[in-house]
């Protein structure tokens, strides 16, 4: 039967179709719409609408780059299958398969260029939005204000997630995510036992050690920059977990992240005058500036 000559070659397209389905199923991995582990609500960041549009553009770039070669190969693979099952060689038919592959290449190349251009434009727009957001933040966090917060401060081979300068000391805040096993109830806390964190699924020591190393590095760095000892407290935040402190670690805080600002303000372990705070803020700002120039 003649129609079988056109139907049987479709078997050769099965691996390509399976690969395309996997690629299509993985497209959601590039979306960064994150939910708060504290409230479960979607996080609203500066430039959120641009972030969403950028996610869609990057997803389209991923799909185009992954599905383009599959679409270009499909006519050729089908044509090779036709050569196996057909009794006569029709060179016009083979030329059509080649033309379809070439056309698919041009179409997907144009789509790649369009997606790349759109991503560049959206990234520039997001950078402008974040720049303005940082400037607007000065309304509630001016440099003369007794509280000042930095994010992603470069250290010596590491990055400080958050750094808060307050009249009562400097807080180095590390935010770490730890997933809760499916068989562990929500009300089971993480227990702080000295230098050990006892999660329901096991124990960890590295998080507190890392927090201590980073806080000591910052204390040493600020001492060099300011010419005096600056009190620094390391804070390990575990969002989504209830924290029960059996034995508090020396010089460190372990918090859940809920009501973090109130807990930090209540922990008044030192006293910094306005001049010292301004010197610290200048030293951290200069550290970030030097790092950006070096990158």
Residues 136-175: pLDDT tens digits? Answer: 566 555 655 678 888 888 888 888 888 888 888 899 988 8
Tens-digit pLDDT profile for residues 121-133: 888 888 767 666 6
Tens-digit pLDDT profile for residues 100-109: 898 998 999 9
pLDDT at 61 over 70: yes
SS3 33: coil
Mean pLDDT of the chain: 82
Distance CA 68, CA 61 (A): 10
Predicted pLDDT at 221: 94
Q: Is the dihedral of CA 273, 276, 279, 284 positive or negative?
A: negative
Rounded to two decimals, what is the model's pTM? 0.66
Domain boundaries along the sequence of the chain = 2-137, 148-294
If you ran DSSP here, which 8-state letter would residue 43 be given?
P
């Amino acid at each position: 039967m003649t129609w079988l000559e056109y139907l049987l070659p479709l078997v050769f397209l099965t691996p390509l179709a399976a690969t395309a389905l996997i690629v299509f199923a993985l497209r959601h991995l590039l979306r960064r719409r994150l939910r708060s582990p504290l409230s479960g609500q979607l996080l609203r960041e500066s430039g959120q609408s641009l972030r969403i549009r950028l996610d869609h553009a990057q997803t389209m770039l991923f799909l185009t780059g992954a599905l383009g070669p599959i679409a270009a190969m499909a006519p050729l693979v089908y044509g090779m299958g036709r050569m196996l099952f057909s009794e006569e060689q029709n060179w016009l038919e083979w030329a059509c398969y080649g033309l379809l592959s070439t056309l698919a290449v041009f179409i997907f190349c144009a789509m790649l260029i369009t997606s790349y251009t759109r991503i560049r434009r959206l990234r520039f727009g997001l950078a402008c939005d974040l720049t303005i957001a940082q400037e607007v933040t000065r309304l509630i966090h001016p440099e003369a204000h007794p509280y000042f917060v930095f994010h992603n401060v470069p250290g010596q081979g590491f990055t400080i997630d958050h750094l808060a300068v307050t009249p009562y000391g400097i807080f180095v805040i590390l935010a770490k995510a730890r997933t809760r096993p499916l068989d562990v109830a929500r009300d089971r806390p993480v227990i702080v036992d000295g230098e050990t964190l006892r999660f329901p699924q096991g124990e960890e020591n590295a998080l507190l050690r890392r927090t201590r190393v980073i806080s000591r590095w910052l204390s040493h760095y600020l001492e060099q920059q300011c010419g005096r000892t600056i009190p620094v407290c390391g804070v390990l935040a575990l969002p989504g977990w209830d924290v029960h402190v059996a034995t508090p670690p020396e010089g460190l805080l372990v918090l859940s992240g809920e009501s973090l600002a109130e807990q930090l303000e209540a922990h008044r372990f030192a006293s910094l005058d306005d001049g010292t705070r301004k010197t610290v803020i200048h030293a951290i700002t200069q550290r970030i500036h030097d790092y950006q120039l070096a990158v």
